[in-house]
Structure 1
Amino acid sequence: MSELDRLVNSCLMPGFAGATVPDWVRAALDEGLAGVCLYGQNLVSGGPGQVAALSGALHRARPDALVAVDEEGGDVTRLEYGVGSSYPGNLALGTLDDEEVTATVAAAIGADLRRAGVDVDFAPSVDVNSDPRNPVIGVRSFGADPLRVARHGAAYVRGLQSTGVAATAKHFPGHGATTVDSHLGLPTVDVDEDTFRRRELPPFAAAIEAGVALVMTSHVLFPALDDVPATLSRRLLVDLLRTELGFAGVVVTDALDMAGVRAAHGIPRAAALSLAAGADLLLVGAEDGEEHCAAIRATVAEHVRDGSLPEARLHEAAARVAALRTGPAAPVPPNGDPGDLGLRAARAARQARDLRPLPGPAVVVELRSAANMAVGDARWSLADPLRELGSLDRAVTVESGDPDPEAVAASAAGRPLVVAVRDAYRSAWQERWLRRLTELRPDAVTVALGMPDDLALVPGPALATLGASRACTRAAAEALVGR
């Protein structure tokens, strides 16, 4: 392998297929690969033990390899992918609005990550969720107020990094005002620069002030500032992030296999363009990265030869990544049980309306649609904790409107009825289904496990948990039974 190829490798962080580390990853680590990101598809057992096994194998192959995950707590979890997170997510924490709680939860997540051998956490999301139609941020945001998001983002960074795990402020310069998921297309935030600066930037400035180790780019277009997505924009990554905001750490791209940049450029060219724009670490994506990495090396070499990507820029990027790999880390925390930290926070954040304890075991209806790709197939269930509390009659899953509300109402006659929804207000069939069911059963309790906007759809008893993590669903079940 040429020296240039090794230089490119030192800026690459691919994913891989399967539940074990493949030979090509071990070989690439020996040839300077920066590290690996683990995704839900790698975590078949869905627990911290699987993450620890993979990180252990990666670190045995290369002790300074970076092992990264998306562990936001709440809906986006990798450590507890199969069971749901023990912690509430950002919206619950932001609504609770206790910075000490946010920092403590982040430190607990960091301790879990350190014990599992994770070096980099792609969290927190410091996007300001200013558009409730947002299909990919939502409960992952601390809220719609830039200053509140800034305060809690900084607290999260401090808590997480106190454990030796590198935090990542994402998705620069903001993904909260979008109505398109950048996994699936290219979102545009068409606002004037003054609005952009007032709304999107304060959380990133606060995270930088708190010493955040990485900033992740967004595949989002801001026409008032540039005519290319942020991931490919030198105006945003160098002039704004580096020069104006003073960020000196690692700029990591969002996954390059996402349509926000892949559709127009392909992964290899997007990689070269992002390096030229000022990115340091290229997150290749969840697909098996062997062929993608080879294509990126070849394309970057072409850009170096034609002068569009100075080799000095590669050396600069590689040096920043190397500093992250060799940076000081806190001692690995001893095994310890944080107790009911996450559950206590989830209890404090839940919001009830006209709620009375269930008079007996309930029929629990869960309206389900595919989650966004950031959440993946992480488990959620309201029926499970009600079963644990002895208050479940039976569970009913509704997908694409089947079974219909009439059938469900008839089958639940004479028994308490609970309906769990996640952002039904953004799904035409779910909104229709929920409205009809509550017409038939006005006493049915609506439990919003996503954005609280769902509670505006129907009258009657209701509960908002501000997320669907295991901590949030347990807190909801306790409220339903009067605890």
Structure 2
Amino acid sequence: MSRHQQREGTGRPGQPPHPAADVPATGAARPTRRTVLAATAGLTAALAVQGTGTAQAASRHDDRSLRALISRMTLQEKVGQLFVMRVYGHSATDPDQADIDANLEEIGVRTAAELIEKYHVGGIIYFAWAHNTRDPQQIADLSNGIQKAALAQPRGLPLLIATDQEHGIVCRIGKPATLFPGAMAIGAGGSTADARTLGRISGAELRAMGVNQDYSPDADVNVNPANPVIGVRSFGADPDAVARMVAAQVKGYQGSGVAATAKHFPGHGDTAVDSHTGFPVITHTREQWETLDAVPFRAAIKAGIDSIMTAHLQFPALDPSGDPATLSRPILTGILREELGYDGVVITDSLGMEGVRTKYGDDRVPVLALKAGVDQLLNPPSLDVAFHAVLDAVRSGELTEARLDESILRILRLKARLGLFDDPYTTRADVTRTVGTEAHLRTADALAERTTTLLVNKGNLLPLSRRSHQRILVVGADPDSPSGTTGPTTGVLAAALNELGFTATALPTGTAPSAAVTDQAVAAARDADAVVVATYNVTAGSAQQTLVERLAATGRPVIAVAVRNPYDVAQLPAATAVLAAYSWTDVEVRAAARVVAGRVSPRGTVPVPVQRADDPEQTLYPIGYGLSYRRH
């Protein structure tokens, strides 16, 4: 997989997914679709309003003036405005030589400034692996350099600068920016006020760094425990609850002057295939789609969502052609535009993903996406191929220039609403005043404490007493940390417990511990009063499950902390206590440690049903289940 095929929930492009991805081991029992769908039926209604500041900015640039601007654009400028592209480097004009080389190889330009000059792109997307996000001041300087290069062009159009800052396991900008729990953790907390606060603070920090569009929130309803690409990126399995959280987060982001993006339309929550590497098929009926997948998107539209991202998957009940939704006119125009009444910006998911490249070539995909109703084309594998494909389609008459004008008007409306025509720049003072402040960090910690979920507590083991359980061994998985977090998980857990007065030692054992590593952990456990195990996507018969069983056989109490999917609990009957943290990021791991120590009471409840491992037709823990106790 080449570098342009970036994965939303993993690390640098070109590398495999995180170990032990969310797919069950061969032969492992998992819930049926019918069981989970039955457990999560429901409808919702959610209303929201946009902030007045962006509306006032837009009023100074009405459709008449924007259409006049479009009429003065060349065809090449119009085509370029449709693209949002990656670019390597920490600077718009003076990146490191390695980034210049990468840009020349993949895009045929040296710098972001040259990208803007040559292709007239309407947006740029930031990634940590592209070295765009070293630190907040550098990000602000890069954003200003990009806008300066854009305004120096004949038409002087500011750019949409975007990133995937979902929080939880998908973060492109790390410390010292404020990092919050991810969507499923927020769903476990159950507070729309917290969802809105996350959006407000994250949006303010993004805008201070010059980022004006965030590809968040995830509006997928995760009803498939084996979903390898969404999972904890979703707020949960109840469409009503997901809709409320989505609407709240939209209000938070957009109230801070950042365009929110609901994704992945028409819904990516019931797949067992990752659209980065395959071509998923959703088998829901039209009725199921209406009552499940569509609900959060309707709420996002009512909340005034600025942009919606498409999914690279088949949905035969909505379009039997076999085309991916990204290229489906029945889905994007017939349903999203005409039935749901959405007239905002529609952006594709990355065009480097396999799900959109399986059926058509890279020269056809951008043209078909525009014909389907897309406005922004994100990150094609070859910008030159995609750019000239659209250009040639207009010249041949397959696409009309008027069709391009429709999309450009929506894009320019968004830029106007964001105030980019008035002032696209940020300042270093804005960064210092806004990003990673003590108040923001305290808010993130407090919010995380409301999400940790206690599912098992045999014999009321938790909260742990320092008198009886002073010495703690911390073992388990250390998945690659999201951008800019400290990690590794076992080290963060041990350090947090030490700060809370315990004597904790970390012994990483990985997601697939060998027999020798397991023996080492068991030997170390004999010198401890309790063992904490960080688990990551445990499956039946897996080495992680064996590790927990052997540790429990020592007679020491074993506390499992599920640092990704809460479904782990079904595979861990030997554990004395089980907590769901929903992510291995520092803010969530530290909150779990405070719950273990009794500094805070567990308040989260699972936002997805957890099925029995031995009988997936039966629910072990329903949505809304969670234990608690009084803090020390």
TM-score normalised by the chain length of structure 1: 0.91
Matches within 5 A, 1:58-137: 58-62=146-150, 64-80=158-174, 86-137=179-230
In structure 2, which of residues 431, 445, 456 is the aligned counterpart of residue 343 of structure 1?
Answer: 445
Assess, with a 3 A threshold, how the Cα gap between structure 1 residues 172 and 131 changes in structure 2: closer, same or farther: same
1:148 paired to 2:148: no
Matches within 5 A, 1:301-320: 301-320=391-410
Question: Offset of 1:241 from its aligned partner?
Answer: 0.5
Assess, with a 3 A threshold, how the Cα gap between structure 1 residues 99 and 45 changes in structure 2: closer, same or farther: closer
1:474 paired to 2:590: yes
In structure 2, stretches of 5+ residues that fail to align are 1-72, 93-99, 101-109, 152-157, 600-632
Question: Offset of 1:394 from its aligned partner?
Answer: 2.7
In structure 1, which of residues 414, 431, 442 is the aligned counterpart of residue 527 of structure 2?
Answer: 414
What residue number does 2:613 align with?
A: none
d(CA) in 2 for partners of 1:134 and 1:43?
A: 29
Question: Offset of 1:316 from its aligned partner?
Answer: 1.2
Counterpart AA for 1:387: A
Match of 1:267, SS? coil
Question: Offset of 1:345 from its aligned partner?
Answer: 1.5
What residue number does 2:69 align with?
A: none
d(CA) in 1 for partners of 2:159 and 2:379?
A: 16
What residue number does 2:139 align with?
A: 51
Assess, with a 3 A threshold, how the Cα gap between structure 1 residues 384 and 83 changes in structure 2: closer, same or farther: farther
What residue number does 1:6 align with?
A: 77
| CA distances 1:278-306 after superposition (whole Å, capped 9, x unpaired) | 10001116xxx6xx111112212333344
Assess, with a 3 A threshold, how the Cα gap between structure 1 residues 312 and 440 changes in structure 2: closer, same or farther: farther
d(CA) in 2 for partners of 1:434 and 1:85?
A: 33
Aligned 8 A contact 1:133 1:426 in 2: no
Counterpart AA for 1:165: V
Aligned 8 A contact 2:179 2:444 in 1: yes
Of 463-472 and 298-307, deviating more is: 298-307
Assess, with a 3 A threshold, how the Cα gap between structure 1 residues 320 and 45 changes in structure 2: closer, same or farther: closer
Assess, with a 3 A threshold, how the Cα gap between structure 1 residues 365 and 159 changes in structure 2: closer, same or farther: same
Matches within 5 A, 1:58-457: 58-62=146-150, 64-80=158-174, 86-226=179-319, 227-284=322-379, 292-329=382-419, 334-335=433-434, 336=437, 337-352=439-454, 353-354=456-457, 355-357=462-464, 359-368=469-478, 380=487, 381-390=489-498, 391=502, 392-402=504-514, 403-415=516-528, 416-425=530-539, 428-440=542-554, 443-457=557-571
Aligned 8 A contact 1:421 1:449 in 2: yes
What residue number does 1:38 align with?
A: 126
Assess, with a 3 A threshold, how the Cα gap between structure 1 residues 44 and 281 changes in structure 2: closer, same or farther: closer
d(CA) in 1 for partners of 2:324 and 2:540?
A: 26
Of 413-422 and 188-197, deviating more is: 413-422
Question: Offset of 1:315 from its aligned partner?
Answer: 1.7
d(CA) in 2 for partners of 1:193 and 1:360?
A: 56
In structure 1, stretches of 5+ residues that fail to align are none
Counterpart AA for 1:125: D
Counterpart AA for 2:124: V
Question: Offset of 1:44 from its aligned partner?
Answer: 7.4
Counterpart AA for 1:161: Q
d(CA) in 2 for partners of 1:462 and 1:157?
A: 32
Match of 1:128, SS? coil
Aligned 8 A contact 2:128 2:173 in 1: no
| CA distances 1:106-142 after superposition (whole Å, capped 9, x unpaired) | 1011111111110100000010001111111111111
Assess, with a 3 A threshold, how the Cα gap between structure 1 residues 451 and 14 changes in structure 2: closer, same or farther: same
TM-score normalised by the chain length of structure 2: 0.70
Question: Offset of 1:83 from its aligned partner?
Answer: 7.7
Aligned 8 A contact 1:171 1:218 in 2: yes
Aligned 8 A contact 2:132 2:139 in 1: no
Question: Offset of 1:443 from its aligned partner?
Answer: 1.4
Counterpart AA for 2:284: V
Assess, with a 3 A threshold, how the Cα gap between structure 1 residues 15 and 317 changes in structure 2: closer, same or farther: same
Match of 1:161, SS? helix
**Percent of counterpart pairs with the same letter?**
34
d(CA) in 1 for partners of 2:135 and 2:471?
A: 30
Question: Offset of 1:85 from its aligned partner?
Answer: 5.9
Of 136-145 and 387-396, deviating more is: 387-396
Counterpart AA for 1:145: D
Of 44-53 and 411-420, deviating more is: 44-53
Match of 1:86, SS? coil
d(CA) in 1 for partners of 2:565 and 2:178?
A: 17
Of 145-154 and 443-452, deviating more is: 443-452
d(CA) in 1 for partners of 2:207 and 2:227?
A: 32
d(CA) in 2 for partners of 1:481 and 1:187?
A: 43
d(CA) in 2 for partners of 1:240 and 1:153?
A: 20
Question: Offset of 1:269 from its aligned partner?
Answer: 2.0
The Cα RMSD (Å) is 2.6
What residue number does 2:577 align with?
A: 461
Aligned 8 A contact 2:310 2:346 in 1: yes
Q: How many positions carry a matched residue from both structures?
A: 473
Of 321-330 and 450-459, deviating more is: 321-330
What residue number does 2:61 align with?
A: none
Assess, with a 3 A threshold, how the Cα gap between structure 1 residues 273 and 339 changes in structure 2: closer, same or farther: same
Of 203-212 and 98-107, deviating more is: 98-107
The structure that has the greater radius of gyration is 2
